[in-house]
Structure 1
């Protein structure tokens, strides 16, 4: 798709969306929202507020921010906005065995948190931890269970048991 085709499609489906997964670049490059050149988190919050104004049906919007330290080492931070507040996960630094499926793992983690009525802070933490763990698994399917993700949240990476 061209950016214009993607924009047209998103504008057609967003009125029917409850949970959107859109990052800052999606908002500015595809949807053409104006970036006020603030720091990343303030800019993201402003963009999300504008999205909620245009699409009051949306209940949550989420994304990640990746920092690349080397080809095999990244950090990941998650964000979720509920229409009023933005919640930010801790930043997790990890070695990468396979990056494919990391975004899907984040999305599944956010959906898991919402479906299980986790508060927004725990939901975004769950999503980013699910993604961080997925980076340690070959293939595009996250093979960790809820207990493993919660262990990372509560006890840190050194205490993961599989």
Structure 2
């Protein structure tokens, strides 16, 4: 399989008060650039996989700052389309202990949301790709973006490029009914599905039994059955589910499940003292894609994905800046956090 990764999605500005300040306490904000598919492109490029992000950005200083942030981590930016009026923004207030984090979106009318689907030449973009990825976030920002996702996945499928989708349900973007109407028809072109504890219920109308997300109760057997039903219904090659047990906003138990070939593989569980959990699902998906591109067996794939995403959640901002050797060190049992000299 060709190793090149292509992601399609929105790049946003992230604005956050310092530390754990609440919005009313903030007098300034830290600026960073992010977005689900962009996070994945950076993570994979940092691990040595040729990666590109397809998006549309306004041709102004802020748009070019976002471009430069990707290029800083050796993501190919040659497929960025320039135009439109604005870049999307999200504001993050980080939670702690029993106070949850809060995100406010300001992305309506962004360049990618308003882009004409015909602006993307998918046959050209995907000609040397081995893997194409999109998310439910991108499909949810506008009907035009949803159509572009549909076109891209269909083109990738036709060209023999592996296609993955992270359902990534966001209730501030659309309702479950709207999400299902758009996303279910797209699944015919998806090979590998990524989901978390509640995505499949909101986006595909199928839930896991014996699990209580709010109460922190997750049933591995229930998610195995869910993955089996999803595979039977939509014909996925694999289903990967990240499993988060929220002890509090500061401490999470983190694990994952990979279902493929009528069998489930589960990872070890990590207890994480969170630094920044935003982007955890993106790092899980990029970790699994890295392992699949390397041709590893299913157990090693899910172990790598979970270890990679564990490390990401100990880092500030949304990008997972972990090298493969760091992830493998954690996989084989070095989770002590001792200083490396």
TM-score by length of 1: 0.90
Aligned length: 161
The ranges of structure 1 where at least 4 consecutive aligned residues each deviate by more than 3 angstroms after the TM superposition are 34-39, 159-162
Q: Does 1:7 align with 2:180?
A: yes
Q: Secondary structure at the match of 1:75?
A: strand
How far is the alpha carbon of 1:52 from its aligned partner?
1.4
Deviations 1:84-118 (A, max 9, x none): 11110000112111111111110100101111111
Which residue does the alignment assign to 2:157?
A: none
Q: Name the CA distance, whole Å, in 1 between partners of 2:317 and 2:268.
A: 25
**8 Å Cα contact 1:152/1:159 also seen in 2:** no
Q: Name the CA distance, whole Å, in 1 between partners of 2:304 and 2:209.
A: 30
**Per the alignment, do residues 155 and 34 of structure 1 end up closer, same or farther by CA in structure 2, a change over 3 Å counting?**
closer
Which of 319, 322, 328 aligns to 1:141? It is 319
How far is the alpha carbon of 1:35 from its aligned partner?
4.7
Deviations 1:46-96 (A, max 9, x none): 22222111222x211111111222332211011110041111000011211
Q: Does 1:100 align with 2:278?
A: yes
The structure that is helix-richer by fraction is 1
Q: Does 1:42 align with 2:215?
A: no
**Per the alignment, do residues 9 and 99 of structure 1 end up closer, same or farther by CA in structure 2, a change over 3 Å counting?**
same
Which of 53, 56, 66 aligns to 2:232? It is 53
Gapped regions of structure 2 (runs ≥ 5): 1-173, 212-217
Q: Name the CA distance, whole Å, in 2 between partners of 1:70 and 1:36.
A: 23
How far is the alpha carbon of 1:159 from its aligned partner?
5.6
Deviations 1:24-53 (A, max 9, x none): 422233322265548722221222222111
**8 Å Cα contact 2:197/2:244 also seen in 1:** no
Aligned ranges for residues 1-162 of structure 1 at < 5 Å?
1-33=174-206, 35-37=208-210, 40-56=219-235, 58-158=236-336, 161=340
**8 Å Cα contact 2:275/2:315 also seen in 1:** yes
**Per the alignment, do residues 63 and 36 of structure 1 end up closer, same or farther by CA in structure 2, a change over 3 Å counting?**
closer
Which structure's CA Rg is the greater one? Answer: 2
**Per the alignment, do residues 155 and 36 of structure 1 end up closer, same or farther by CA in structure 2, a change over 3 Å counting?**
closer
**8 Å Cα contact 1:24/1:47 also seen in 2:** no
**Per the alignment, do residues 155 and 49 of structure 1 end up closer, same or farther by CA in structure 2, a change over 3 Å counting?**
closer
Gapped regions of structure 1 (runs ≥ 5): none
